Structure 1
Amino acid sequence: MAWLSPAFPIGGFAYSGGLERAVHDGLVKDAAGLIAWLTSLLRQGTLWNDAVLFGEAWRQFEDEAALKEVAELGLALAGSAERHVETLSLGQAFASAASAWPHPVLDRLPRAVPFPVAVGAIAAAHGVAAAQALAAYLHAAVSQSVSTGIRLGVSGQVEGVAILAEIEGLVADIADKASLATLDDLGGAAVQAEIASLRHETQHSRLFRS
């Protein structure tokens, strides 16, 4: 709960993962559109791939070479420059802040570590069950996107809470599936989300870094 709280000093509030561009382009116009966006990311997009990478890091937390490989894979899968900066910045900030809970895993993690790899490995090192850790990670990601949607004006606060209530079953389901997945299960089809992330790089006026 502490690690995935908005108060944890990693700066996640500064990123939208392409959602800002999707709103700008009219792909997400209201609460229903935001639910559809998040559902796509969870089932076929970046959140699914992040969950798979998280699970692999969780399993390999004692193997420094394996952690290096999954970290490199996670960074290579970033579909845009901003997505690369986002996952790398959050991963490094998370590992740094998590040093308040000392553990040798912090020395095994590579310096260039994407966010899901950092959280997965550190959660495993401290004995947090994979499915539970993944549920918390995905819920935090969805909550951050809902907060972004509220700030971008596509939903109100009451609608935002309703979105979280509606999508929590899917979050739990994806967490369970990803905890058993392997790297062979990586892959996505959320093409519009990837394009939005790319287009955000050249957006002139913006609130978020991605």
Structure 2
Amino acid sequence: MTTTILTATLTRLMDAPSLKPESLEPENFAELPLLLWLSPAFPVGSFAYSHGLEWAVEAGDIVDAATLQIWLVDLLNFGAPRSDAVLFACAFRAGRSSDWAALAEINELAVALAGSAERRLETCAQGGAFVSAMRAAWTCAALEHLPASGDPIAYPVAVGTAAAGHGLSLDLSLQAFTLSLFSNFVSAAVRLGAIGQTDGQKTLAGILPDVRRLARETSSAGLDDLGGCAFRSDIAAMRHETQYSRLFRS
């Protein structure tokens, strides 16, 4: 009797739609390419940029994991990464709706918002490299409406457009993009010797809820929501231009 009941129960479980092997089909992992596009191995050169952290470390603003986390949370709430998240969302929606005129305007604004020469280099060099790699290996129709090779394109606009063109989720794509920015900042802090690798992972774990919150807040944001006042970070970007000894390009 027990064997009969167990067999019947297992049969019902296997027949349940939510538990069938088909639920693991690739279409349920549509965002998987983001792990490649936003990984350090993707050829955008993100390892070469510190977003001004190199100067902040030399100036003594960042000396350990606690001061790094404070710096990063301020960036997330008030700095360029928050604006990048808004620009990503706007570019995604423009790409999803095939509004190419709006996409061009969003990109022009994103480039203009770079507050220093190195910030402009940081976003445009990575944006251009991202588009080149995507057109070669992950092409889609939306990518053809981005600027031609050599013309400036902001990194969040490039990634947002690609995610829309490949039919990915805005919320998940935005979370992944924002987390990748901060992962690169933490990597820069590790290479600068401000923290160790374990503290780097603790820092990322600590700011993950803030990253998710930022994605929720900006997924429906428009260009009118742009704005920030992370003055110390902007100063760091400008001071880095004349910093005597440098590992990074920004």
Task: Report the CA distance between 1:177 and its aligned residue.
Answer: 0.9
Q: Equivalent residue of 1:60, what SS?
A: helix
Tell me which residue corresponds to 1:142.
Answer: 182
Out of 116, 130, 133, the residue aligned to residue 173 of structure 2 is: 133
The answer to whether structure 1 residue 90 and structure 2 residue 130 are counterparts is: no
Task: Report the CA distance between 1:153 and its aligned residue.
Answer: 1.1
Out of 170, 174, 191, the residue aligned to residue 151 of structure 1 is: 191
User: Which of structures 1 and 2 has the larger relative contact order (alpha carbons within 8 angstroms, sep 6+)?
Assistant: 1
Tell me which residue corresponds to 1:108.
Answer: 145
Letter in 1 for 2:77: R
- Residues 136-173 of structure 1: CA distance to partner in whole angstroms, max 9, x if unpaired? 00111111111100111111111111011111111011
Q: Equivalent residue of 1:209, what SS?
A: coil
Taking the aligned partners of 1:118 and 1:189, their CA distance within structure 2 comes to 24
Contact 1:9 1:97 in 2 (8 A): yes
Task: Report the CA distance between 1:105 and its aligned residue.
Answer: 1.1
Letter in 1 for 2:227: G
Taking the aligned partners of 1:85 and 1:147, their CA distance within structure 2 comes to 19
User: What TM-score comes out, normalization by structure 2 length?
Assistant: 0.83
- Which segments of structure 1 move beyond 3 Å, counting only runs of 4 or more? none
Out of 105, 108, 118, the residue aligned to residue 158 of structure 2 is: 118
User: What TM-score comes out, normalization by structure 1 length?
Assistant: 0.98
State the identity as a percent. Answer: 51
The answer to whether structure 1 residue 199 and structure 2 residue 199 are counterparts is: no
Out of 72, 75, 90, the residue aligned to residue 108 of structure 2 is: 72
Task: Report the CA distance between 1:98 and its aligned residue.
Answer: 1.0
The answer to whether structure 1 residue 16 and structure 2 residue 50 are counterparts is: yes
Taking the aligned partners of 1:34 and 1:194, their CA distance within structure 2 comes to 16
Unaligned runs of 5+ in 1: none
Q: CA RMSD in A?
A: 0.8
Taking the aligned partners of 1:98 and 1:125, their CA distance within structure 2 comes to 11
Tell me which residue corresponds to 2:81.
Answer: 47
Letter in 2 for 1:127: G
Contact 1:63 1:108 in 2 (8 A): no
- Residues 74-118 of structure 1: CA distance to partner in whole angstroms, max 9, x if unpaired? 011001000001100000000111121121111101232100000
- Residues 5-54 of structure 1: CA distance to partner in whole angstroms, max 9, x if unpaired? 11001100000011101111111111111101110111110100000000
The answer to whether structure 1 residue 35 and structure 2 residue 69 are counterparts is: yes
Out of 172, 182, 187, the residue aligned to residue 227 of structure 2 is: 187
Q: Give the number of the structure whose alpha-carbon radius of gyration is greater.
A: 2
Q: Equivalent residue of 2:243, what SS?
A: coil
Taking the aligned partners of 1:176 and 1:8, their CA distance within structure 2 comes to 26
Taking the aligned partners of 2:139 and 2:185, their CA distance within structure 1 comes to 30
Unaligned runs of 5+ in 2: 1-34
Taking the aligned partners of 2:230 and 2:179, their CA distance within structure 1 comes to 19
Taking the aligned partners of 2:204 and 2:132, their CA distance within structure 1 comes to 29
Taking the aligned partners of 2:222 and 2:61, their CA distance within structure 1 comes to 31
Taking the aligned partners of 2:118 and 2:236, their CA distance within structure 1 comes to 11
Contact 1:67 1:110 in 2 (8 A): no
Higher mean C-alpha displacement, 75-84 vs 103-112: 103-112
Taking the aligned partners of 1:128 and 1:35, their CA distance within structure 2 comes to 30
Contact 2:143 2:165 in 1 (8 A): no
